[in-house]
Amino acid sequence: MLFHSSIRKELARSFGASFIVLVTVVMTMTLIRTLGQASRGSFNPSDVMLVVGYTVLTFLPNVVTMALFISVVGTLSRLYRDSEMVIWFGSGTGLRQLVGPVMRFAWPAVLAIGALSLFAYPWANRSIDTIREQYEQRGDLERVEPGRFQESADGKRVFFVEKNADGERTGANVFIATQDGNKETVTTARNGRIEFEHGAQVLVLRNGQRMERTKGQDDMKISSFEEYRARVDGGTVDPKAFAPLNAVPSLDLLMEPKPRQLGELFWRIGFAVAALNLMVLAVATSRINPRMGRTGNLVFALFAFQVYLNGLNLGQNWIAQGRFGFWELTLLMHGGVLLMAGFWLAKQHNNWGANPLHWFQSLPGSSRTSP
């Protein structure tokens, strides 16, 4: 049908443009934030682009939903503004008939939103956490950077190397301060290097001094050495470490139906359900007066979109706190939005006025269209 094909083609163009703009904005903001985290030592600078990619992936369910909603509202508002809707309405097509082509256009995106929120979202968060943990729990010698004081993973040692003399395995003017209980040790050396013995890292210092003292005592032991060797263990990542809830796979959440897990599952499933409801709401709110501007209509539509998605976050907290059950809040929130959007669509389609009696009079066999 000409009507359906023309609507879907324009929706596709609008969706593509909206998606590109939103992804560009999200990538820019994510890059700035990730660079700041890398400068504070949360990530390896070489992994910045990888972290940006994973982070953008976590935002894609929201981005695709918003792009889909904007494309429907923008396309239908343009049809009203350019009076093209008058032609379609005059040919016997009502506002209710717009739901069919809109849904046929939106269902692949809705499936993508569900897959992204249920599977890609926890996987990307888990990957980001792994990168962060590997960098934070790296070995003490791997933490050393020339010209900077660096604390060890356990917080008991502080390293300083003035410069690298040959690559990353040797350094000059080495300083190491160690605190173990009441014992404090300061070791300095003209140069040092890293060697491997039996699969372990060994720090070899040459031409230096070692000072030892005990807290609460005035005596201090000072010794000089030509070569000092110390084994330094590398950091390891515990695979059983606690994983944030947003990084837990959806199937694991389903297998452990506790309030916090059900709240997270409600939030993930809610994106796909919200996308379907928003399509009906977009058709209902897109009607504008061609003689008036469409700014107010778009602002209201985006406000409704933001309120709905914020409701998902609020619902997640309510389920986690035990105030509502999973199915109870799902039916209440999503079902309520669907009923409201459906009623609004029926009101626009049948030109219902302020008198409720006219609503029921127009229901049987109603085929009225609104220009």
pLDDT for res 164: 60
Determine the pLDDT at residue 332.
94
Whether residue 202 contacts residue 196, with contact meaning beta carbons closer than 8 Å, is answered with: yes
Q: How far apart are CA 259 and CA 266, in angstroms?
A: 10
Instruction: Return d(Cα 201, Cα 195) in angstroms, integer.
Output: 6
* Joined tokens for residue 193: 């290097």
Q: Which distant-in-sequence residues (6+ apart) come within 8 Å of 303 by Cβ? A: none
Distance CA 50, CA 313 (A): 27
Q: Residue 279 in contact with residue 15, Cβ under 8 Å?
A: no
Residue that the structure tokens 């082509």 belong to: 101
Average pLDDT along the chain, 371 residues, taken 10 residues at a time: 74 92 94 86 83 94 92 83 66 71 90 95 92 69 62 71 62 81 85 72 82 81 82 51 78 90 94 92 75 65 85 93 92 93 80 54 46 38
CB 262 within 8 A of CB 105: no
d(CA 332, CA 329): 5
> What is the model's pTM?
0.72
Residue 92, both tokens: 């016997």
3-state secondary structure of 42: coil
Please give the helix or strand (H or E) that residue 227 lies within, else none.
Answer: strand 220-231
Q: What is the pLDDT of residue 221?
A: 84
Q: State the greatest distance between any 2 C-alpha atoms of the chain, in Å, as a whole number.
A: 102
